[in-house]
Chain A
Amino acid sequence: MWRESMGEDFEQVYKKHFAAVFRLTLRCVGRRDIAEEITSEAFLALYQNFERIDTSQLPAWLFTVAKRRAADYWRRMPREQTSLEDIEPVAPVREPTLGLNDLFRKCGSLTPLHRVCVTLRYVHGLTRTEIAAKLGLSETQVKGHLQYALHLLRTALTGGKEAAHAIPEE
């Protein structure tokens, strides 16, 4: 192959770009298994066209293929699962007065990871297992982050002083 004779083979190109392609894809589809599938499809397409593609077109060429596959994924998804109108927030037991964004603002000790776990759990309604899979964490880690965050949020909610170290984080 021309590129091989110039010292760059498929594996080198793969190592250089696979993380960026996976990152873009995971963000677009939100599921690691689908992101793995799309990333491998993009690189297979590259492998099949390897002799014709100029390195200067990468990673843009790969991003284009990955985005097309991600678009196909959403197109295949039933409309009711992708429409904003069909999303209902988790039903509150009482009529609440404070929004989650207000609570986040009040609770300065929460890290980005805590907030992500809380949002995925209570706004997006994911189970701890699903959150762990999405973020590449263990279920125990997710459970620990949620317990810690919930404690801080409840303290903020009741207007009490944050007991940032009351619960040791797992």
Chain B
Amino acid sequence: MRSQKNDFDTEEKDFLGDVKLPACPEIGLLYSAREGILPEDQATSLNAHLATCEVCRLLGQDLDAIEFGNPTASDAANIRERITQSAPRAFQRAERRPGWLRRRWWVPTFALAACAILAVVLLRSTEPQTASSALQVATAKPIPDIPVDKLPIHVDPAALLATRGAATAGEPSGAEMVKALSRYQKSDYAAAVDQFKTLTQKYPNDATVPLYLGVSELFLGQTDPAAADLTRAKALNQGDRQADASWYLGVAELRLKNVTAAMPLFHDLCQGKSTYADRACTIESQLK
């Protein structure tokens, strides 16, 4: 994990003596925990670390900002070389392959003909459909069931007491937020929803409250109010928090079978640079 090569020069050693450094897991482990590919016990401790470590959270945002992970020309060449070594014909164009008879051209031809016949039979045997019902048939696709991951609390609730202080006209006090977020952190979503609802009535323009309220409602299966609160959270937040709201709103819309509303949300996330981009692209391709 940590290399500890201890090759710091004098200036660096001097700097290290003056700064408090957290003990953080390496990037790959944090991403893997978030992608759900690690054993549960390991993922739980990593997610707990991520929820409270400001340096790790900032590192995640910065890695997104510098588009970490894009393949270089050398990466692309190495990957292609590896594939070619195991499958020498993988990148030969179809038209250069000998023996047109070996291509099973009759399979798609036959399939197309069968479809055409089936369509004619169906059209003749059914009543004319309205435009909307025809559209529904044409666009009917299985809706993916997306497991909901808990949205981490980005600021340690204990730290909120120090940083937020007393309530202002627009936002809750640190103590009020801690009360609600600690319920959420303990996965007591029913109590969290009660707390957040009180706060949202008291501070209707606060951006954080509707986000965690919506996510808590999703966990309780209260999808309609979750969609409403997450819509508000999306409008009130910017940047990463807006991406959080869009993601959970997309999940809520899919649970409501509202594919038309979910599609643009996943499309925008797919085009963006948030941590949801890859997952959103996958869902978008499944919905198309």
Name A residues whose Cβ lies closer than 8 Å to a Cβ of B.
Answer: 1-2, 4-6, 9-11, 14, 18-20, 22-24, 26-32, 35-37, 39-40, 43-44, 47-48, 56, 58-60, 63, 67-68, 70-71, 74, 81-84, 86-90, 92-94, 96-101, 103-104, 112-113, 115-116, 119, 121-127, 130, 134-136, 150, 153-154, 157
Chain A nearest CB from B238 CB (Å) reads: 17
- B28: chain A residues at CB < 8 Å are 27-31, 70, 74
Tell me which residues across on chain B come within 8 A of A122, comparing CB atoms. Answer: 12, 15-16, 19, 21
Contact at A100–B21, with CB atoms within 8 Å? yes
Name B87's contact: one of A47, A96, A98, A125 (CB within 8 Å).
Answer: A47
Cβ of B147 under 8 Å from chain A: no
Most buried by A among B19, B20, B32: B19
Which secondary structure dominates chain A's binding surface? helix
CA A67 to CA B49, docked complex, whole Å? 22
B86 contacts chain A at the CB level, 8 A cutoff: yes
* B contact residues around A94 at 8 Å (CB): 17-18
Nearest Cβ distance between residue B143 and chain A, in whole angstroms?
Answer: 14
Question: In the docked arrangement, what's the CA distance between A13 and B3, Å?
Answer: 38
Q: Which residues of A contact B257 (CB under 8 A)?
A: none
Q: Are A24 and B20 in contact, CB atoms less than 8 angstroms apart?
A: no
> What residues of chain B lie closer than 8 Å to A29, measured between beta carbons?
28, 32
* Residues on B with beta carbons closer than 8 Å to the beta carbon of A31: 28
Q: Which of A11, A56, A157 contacts B18 (CB 8 A)?
A: A157
| Contact surface of B with A, Cβ cutoff 8 Å | 1-5, 7, 11-29, 31-32, 35, 37-38, 42, 45-46, 49, 54-55, 58-59, 61-63, 65-66, 68-72, 75-76, 78-79, 82-83, 86-87, 90-91, 93-94, 103-105, 107-108, 278, 281-282, 285-286, 288
Contact A100–B22 (Cβ < 8 Å): yes
Residue on A with the closest CB to B67? A23
Report the minimal beta-carbon distance from B84 to chain A, rounded to whole angstroms: 9
Question: Which of A10, A59, A98: most chain B CB closer than 10 A?
Answer: A10
Is the Cβ of B31 less than 8 Å from the Cβ of A27? yes
Chain A minimum-CB-distance residue to B27 = A30
Q: Given A18-B79, A22-B71 in contact, is the A98-B18 Cβ separation under 8 Å?
A: yes
